[in-house]
Structure 1
Amino acid sequence: MTVLVTGSRGKVGSALIPLLHGKGVDVRAASAAPGRLSLPDGVAAVRCDLHDPATFPAALDGADAVFLYAEPSQIGAFVQQAETAGVQHIVLLSSSSVLGPEASESAIAATHLAVEQALAASPIETTFLRPGAFAGNALQWKWALQSAGTIDLPCPGSYSDPIHERDIAESAYAALTEPALRGQAYHLTGPQSLTFTEQIAALEAATGRAIPFRRVAPDAWKESVSPYLPAAAADSLLHYWATSDGVPTTVTDQVEILTGHPARTFATWAAENAAAFTAAPSTAAGPTAAGPATA
């Protein structure tokens, strides 16, 4: 079996590639910038820009399965070329945002819904992975700490179910390699529903330092992130945070079903990434007042 992994520079794709390669699966790493990939020996890189259909034929040639990021702009062309290439199975990295009652009105959910619908209408067997908030989204906070010394939060009491990216990668590996798991939809979460303040407390425990935060007005937060976050996405996040403020999210056992082990805790992720929050201030450009987003 040959597996094409799109988005190979991403948090999940970059963790999935060595899992597949280490188990002897023929894996092809795809990226819009393949020259910037750091890959295990023996893994081939190929250019596949999900915005550019001209890159699809060479990337998909000979692939039996695909791990696909949810980019809707050229999904019709991608599906058509995957059919032509003889792809038998696609594992889509979707989002739990598609499960919400107002998914069709969410800018974040709409992207994933469009890709899910295109794949559901195709003859290619598809497995949908729907994680909630990535634990790694907390890395956005390091920019705020380095530049302003504090984190701005519109809804400090908003709950999410942060999931370790390695758990997503291991779930994708299982779906790609175990035929009995194919063709289903999995709602992936971390093992705990945590507020932003509880996530910050976990980071404080991991780093041994205080991590200050302050509540800010939603409009002020939206303005602060406007240089790098589209207004529609900011509005979707603000709506989600407002509706989940004080309302714990539902956690699932889907990671354990797929991988055979419980999902890793946010505290585990915090311990692994503590150095990012203790580094010296940086002059590099980056977010200054952002909280974790949903996947």
Structure 2
Amino acid sequence: MIVVTGATGNVGRALVDRLLAAGRPVRALTRDPARAGLPGRAEVVAFRPDDPAALFAGATHVFLYVQAVTAPLLAAAREHGVRHAVLLSSGLVQEGADETHPIHVMHATAEQHIRDSGLAWTFLRPNGFATNALQYAPQIRAGGDTVRGVYAGALSAPIHEDDIAAVAERVLLDDGHEGAVHRLTGPAAIGNAEQVAAIGDALGRKLTFVEVDPAEAGPDLFPHVPPGMLGRLLDSVAQTVGTPPEITGTVEELTGTPARAFDRWARDHAADFRP
């Protein structure tokens, strides 16, 4: 049995689908099973850390997202037979990183809890997610031809969430990944303005990126970013303007299939940008 936390998230849902397709039993943990909309073949269980037997009994592997990680939860997983924990961490955790950055602190702390747990572990450290472009969806669904955002020339190599899930599948099903750290990116650099143009192409529309002064950026442009974290996020994005991003071949090395480019992600998610 493989336990997947965050099973209704972008990566978790894709991973559940992949594991079921591979014929593996999956226990999908979610806060609200009634509204999860997960496949019927998955064992969907409410994520209640106070009932560890319901979460982990009979399981050997667990896929974790960072907010789920606590020392007591890991101890309970080990007590109930889990041997291997795979964490969806962050590319911000690396040598020479700003260790005061809140995203770094969150993920590095989770990694340390797992190292201290006695479980075998594997850390997946993706850089920017292609799904971050969903921040533009409200503007695009409204029907205009311009999209406001910060730093048109900020470069990243955004990764498709299903490519992360494909790597997680291999790490969970194949031997030899214990103690490994896998850095994950998309296959090519693309700027923010180019991302918006690619979304427009997927929709059959011509969209134009309009750069906004970062000092004027707020919740309307970053609705999913906690206010206390927005300033540090904008600082991080500013550092990527004109700077070639890290690009790894890890997705292809581990899955045998090249990572998908952003335009493919835009086509896969075109419905998310339509009214």
Could you tell me the TM-score, scaled by structure 1's length?
0.87
> Is the Cα contact below 8 Å between 1:181 and 1:258 reproduced in 2?
no
Residue 191 of structure 2 is aligned with which of 195, 214, 227?
195
List gaps (5 residues or longer) in structure 1.
Answer: 281-295
1:241 aligns with 2:214: no
1:181 aligns with 2:177: yes
1:101 aligns with 2:96: yes
Q: Distance in 1 between matches of 2:95 and 2:233?
A: 13
Per-residue CA deviation, residues 175-214 of structure 1 (Å, 9 max, x unaligned), is 0000123320000000011110121222222222122322
Aligned partner of 1:132 in structure 2 is 127
Residues 142, 226 of structure 1: CA spacing in aligned structure 2 closer, same or farther, 3 A cutoff? closer
CA shift at 1:158, angstroms?
0.7
Q: Distance in 2 between matches of 1:100 and 1:107?
A: 16
List gaps (5 residues or longer) in structure 2.
Answer: none
Residue 163 of structure 1 is aligned with which of 159, 162, 171?
159
Give the letter aligned to residue 198 of structure 1.
E
Q: Distance in 1 between matches of 2:79 and 2:219?
A: 45
1:215 aligns with 2:211: yes
Q: Distance in 2 between matches of 1:11 and 1:228?
A: 14
Q: Distance in 1 between matches of 2:143 and 2:233?
A: 22
> Is the Cα contact below 8 Å between 1:107 and 1:232 reproduced in 2?
no
Aligned-pair identity (%): 37
CA shift at 1:243, angstroms?
0.6
Number of aligned residues: 274
> Is the Cα contact below 8 Å between 1:34 and 1:47 reproduced in 2?
yes
CA shift at 1:154, angstroms?
2.1
1:265 aligns with 2:256: no
Residues 24, 226 of structure 1: CA spacing in aligned structure 2 closer, same or farther, 3 A cutoff? closer
Residues 34, 103 of structure 1: CA spacing in aligned structure 2 closer, same or farther, 3 A cutoff? farther
> Is the Cα contact below 8 Å between 2:219 and 2:225 reproduced in 1?
no
Give the letter aligned to residue 5 of structure 2.
T
Aligned partner of 1:292 in structure 2 is none
Residues 13, 226 of structure 1: CA spacing in aligned structure 2 closer, same or farther, 3 A cutoff? closer
CA shift at 1:47, angstroms?
1.1
Residues 109, 148 of structure 1: CA spacing in aligned structure 2 closer, same or farther, 3 A cutoff? farther
Q: Distance in 2 between matches of 1:126 and 1:116?
A: 9
CA shift at 1:137, angstroms?
1.7
